[in-house]
């Protein structure tokens, strides 16, 4: 459609990001389908792998990370699950929004449309950073459609994320090279990213502009107490967006059905920096949920 909004600063910038994205997809270790699901916010790009009859697992990425960021995880996860890696609409990726997204409620409707378009009644959701915040909000609003929830370094949710806004967000807002270099290094926190994905992350920060104006927030005590979906909280021990102990303490005190694991030598993009450890923790949790059905 001609009325899609661009999520890039220029056509050349989009081309460079898509080239880096496709180079990651050339490394995708298992067969996949690329789907475009119509939703009320626009056309949502989804990468699907695994047997179609397997239990569905929806993976939702971090800020400027894109669905391609799960390429080190999909092989292990798709052996037992139908894995859908979703490009968050409004972020700089291959999804195509119709308009600016200004309300958190818009993403609840978007998730409904996404699941309906994939012919899924309910699924397990796993989200990193902003993806974790959006997934947890959906579980709070539509618990009947969420079988289980995996939060990987969720943005805000339990604690404020001022370090993120100071160190990473300015790079995406300006596209300035020195801020991008700082943001990438700050996120890595001495655990270097794979060079191919680092190139994609760098270009997305440089050329993306996004059209989502929804920012993650900290849930109230009452909201967290109502989040009764079985939940796994995964945190890299090199996480920098908030104090890990304070986040864990609040989660344990308020959420009725939560498990917590710390992934050693993992940064904010935990599943990418330590894919085998992250997969093992996710599969232990997911298999236990499946076994109780």
Q: Which residues are catalytic?
A: 268
> In sequence order, what are the residues at sequence separation of 6 or more whose Cβ sits closer than 8 angstroms to the Cβ of residue 254?
221, 224, 225
Within 8 A by CB and 6+ apart from 171, the residues are 179, 180, 182, 183, 184, 205
Q: What is the CA radius of gyration of the chain?
A: 17
| 125, 58 Cβ separation under 8 angstroms | yes
List Cα–Cα distances, 217 to 124, 134, 140, 214, in angstroms.
Answer: 22, 10, 14, 9
Residues, the chain:
293
CA distances from 15 to 138, 177, 199, 203, 291 (A): 32, 18, 14, 10, 45
All residues at 6 or more sequence positions from 114 whose CB lies less than 8 Å from its CB, including other chains: 37, 39, 44, 46, 58, 86
Closest-CA residue to 80 (of 30, 45, 44):
30
First vs last Cα of the chain: how many Å apart?
42
Name 149's bridge partners.
125, 231
């Amino acid at each position: 459609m001609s009325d899609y909004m661009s999520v890039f600063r220029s056509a050349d910038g989009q081309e460079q990001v898509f080239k880096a994205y496709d180079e990651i997809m050339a490394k995708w270790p298992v067969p996949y389908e690329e789907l475009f699901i119509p939703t009320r916010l626009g056309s949502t790009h989804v990468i699907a792998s695994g047997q179609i009859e397997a239990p569905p697992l929806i993976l939702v990425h971090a800020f400027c990370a894109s669905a391609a960021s799960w390429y080190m995880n999909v092989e292990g996860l798709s052996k037992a699950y139908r894995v859908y890696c979703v490009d968050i609409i409004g972020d700089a990726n291959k999804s195509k929004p119709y308009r600016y997204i200004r309300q958190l409620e818009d993403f609840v409707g978007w998730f409904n449309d996404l699941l309906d378009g994939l012919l899924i009644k309910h699924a397990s959701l796993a989200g990193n950073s902003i993806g974790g915040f959006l997934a947890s909000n959906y579980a709070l609003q539509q618990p009947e459609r969420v079988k289980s929830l995996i939060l990987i370094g969720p943005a805000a949710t339990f604690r404020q994320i001022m370090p993120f806004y100071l160190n990473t967000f300015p790079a995406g807002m300006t596209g300035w090279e020195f801020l991008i270099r700082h943001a990438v290094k700050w996120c890595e926190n001495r655990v270097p990213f794979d060079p191919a994905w680092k190139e994609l992350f760098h270009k997305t920060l440089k050329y993306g502009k996004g059209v989502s104006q929804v920012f993650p927030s900290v849930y109230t005590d009452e909201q967290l107490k109502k989040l009764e979906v079985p939940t796994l909280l995964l945190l890299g021990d090199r996480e920098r967006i908030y104090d890990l102990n304070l986040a864990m303490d609040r989660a344990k005190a308020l959420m009725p059905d939560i498990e917590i694991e710390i992934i050693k030598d993992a940064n904010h993009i935990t599943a990418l920096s330590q894919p085998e450890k992250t997969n093992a923790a996710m599969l232990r949790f997911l298999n236990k949920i499946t076994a109780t059905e």
